[in-house]
Chains A and B, each alone.
Chain A
């Protein structure tokens, strides 16, 4: 199953390259810079999707009936991908902003929210790296993920409120926004599909890696215990 998704993801990315770089026409107003949106929009969408998956997996871990190490691993894997996609969103958005808005960064509500989001989950990933007993650290991770997740709408709401109270939207000038239709719309759909497949594939790989990691840690511990007790007569195993 993982392999099928992997092949699908490769096909999707190749199709995205072909359509994004050559198939789709340049935008009337934005020119070639518009092509960056084929990376920016799907990575932003997947960043939010990945954090949603982390939140759901964390809630499932906290619920005693569905508690399983599986959910902790899924939450961690998805959050890592979410942070990568958030970073990609910020970088590509900045590259797009320079030619279109004339600035690398603008204090726009969406940008600020995304930046805060990035740091929220960077903290979560840092917490995850702290070793501990599986159930205890699983609960800790899950609660941290939920604290971060519920903060996202509050951050977004407050930042949006702040910016609109102070100034009218200057950067999101409707004159400049792209009207998406025809091949451009198709390319965007291909991009979203390709990125989603890449996400699912990477999630699967990252999950397996976590399983191997845990097994390795378990083996190392067993070996260490054997070495310590090895010299002790009477304990031959």
Chain B
């Protein structure tokens, strides 16, 4: 019970910072939309190719946006030694992990809704199986947020963190990109029977790394 209260305190703090600074809305979202537009330049929009590969392009864009969101989530702790301040509050490491992860996941879900709308409009995608999408997106988001938070704290405070984070995070997220793309393909084509196993894989990934983070984060958080 205490864990949840502490986690929601941390999540609330991060989301409040975001609401005031509007980095996700003012910088990460436009970045995502320009990536979506650049994909259309790279792949001829008239050939119908864009519509077919839209799920993959969407999730690649989300991954790129997630790198920025994770970097941002730990950059706010660097200023004025906020990290030490948060440590001195005596909050449990697991709670800090869950809180930061929830804040990142909430930001990403928000970005996904807007980016998804942009993809539907710009690529002319038809959504047939909304239920699958609604089941797959949160799972993929939690998978990205859990591993992102873990690696975010690993790289936080290191000199080369901006370059290190993508190299660490993207290979680990390979199954998430694969699963989310297949699930979305199934959902868009209205063939959910192909998609549900992938949704299962995404939930397993998310659960697994969330548990890993709850166990390991304390060690990393009280480190250095």
Contact, CB under 8 Å: B167 / A123: yes
Which of A70-78, A154-162, A217-225 is found at the contact surface with chain B? A154-162
Instruction: Tell me whether B178 and A119 are in contact (CB under 8 A).
Output: no
Choose from A126, A140, A162 the contact partner of B178 (Cβ within 8 Å): A162
Residue from A116, A143, A151 with most neighbouring chain B CB atoms (10 Å):
A143
Contact across chains for A139 and B168 when beta carbons are under 8 A apart: no
Indicate whether A143 sits within 8 Å of B164 (C-beta atoms), given known contacts A158-B175, A162-B182, A165-B194.
no
Mask of A137-155 contacts with B, CB within 8 angstroms, 1/0: 0011001101110110011
Question: Once the chains bind, are A132 and B171 in contact (CB under 8 Å)?
Answer: no
The bracket for how many chain B residues form the interface is 20 to 34
Q: Considering only CB atoms and an 8 Å cut-off, how many residues of chain A contact the other chain?
A: 30
Q: Chain B contact residues: over half helix, strand or loop, or mixed?
A: helix
Q: In the assembled complex, which residues on chain B have CB atoms less than 8 Å from the CB atom of A62? A: 219
Interface residue? B154 (CB, 8 A):
yes
Q: Note all chain B residues with C-beta closer than 8 A to A122.
A: 167
Q: Is the pair B224, A133 in contact by a Cβ cutoff of 8 Å? A: yes
With A147-B150, A159-B178, A162-B178 in contact, do A123 and B164 touch (Cβ < 8 Å)?
A: yes
B172: which of A120, A158, A165 is its contact (CB, 8 Å)?
A120
21 contacts between A and B (CB under 8 A): A116-B174, A119-B167, A126-B167, A126-B168, A130-B158, A143-B216, A144-B154, A146-B216, A147-B209, A148-B172, A150-B208, A151-B172, A154-B175, A154-B201, A154-B205, A154-B208, A155-B174, A158-B175, A159-B178, A162-B178, A162-B182
A-contacting residues of B (Cβ < 8 Å)?
147, 150-151, 154-155, 158-160, 164, 167-168, 170-172, 174-175, 178-179, 182, 194, 197, 201, 204-205, 208-209, 212, 216, 219-220, 223-224
Q: Footprint of B on A, CB under 8 Å?
A: 62, 116, 119-120, 122-124, 126-127, 130, 132-133, 136, 139-140, 143-144, 146-148, 150-151, 154-155, 157-159, 161-162, 165
